[in-house]
Amino acid sequence: MAEEAPMAGQGQGGFVPRQPRENYETIKMETINYGTNNFLEIAKKKAPNGNLFISLSKGWYPAGSTEKRYKAGIGFPMEKELVDRFTGALNTVLQE
């Protein structure tokens, strides 16, 4: 009997190899530490094609280390209208 080939995008055993990460230039970054070893990172970055974007990430520091480990993140274009809407929505949510 012929062995089934993995589905498209899957490696051996269902493992999907991670694509190489692109290098983004960090223009400005602020880190907010909270809890015992957690952080939020807000950054303005430049993609290899020259487009600017805002990156919001959360993560943690391993015990006894200052090396950041990232859990999740989101990025969006640095367009004035979108940034204004985002900061406006954040301010609205934070009001009591």
Give me the number of domains the chain comprises: 1
Angle at 19 between CA 47 and CA 83, to 5 degrees: 35
Question: What number is the average pLDDT over the span 60-83?
Answer: 94
Q: What are 5-50's pLDDT values in tens digits?
A: 545 555 556 667 766 667 899 999 999 999 999 999 999 999 999 9
**CATH number for the domain including 55?**
3.10.450.700
Examine residue 34 and state whether it is found in any structural domain, yes or no.
Answer: yes
Q: Distances from the Cα of 85 to the Cαs of 41, 53, 56, 96, in angstroms? A: 20, 15, 16, 19
- The model's pTM: 0.71
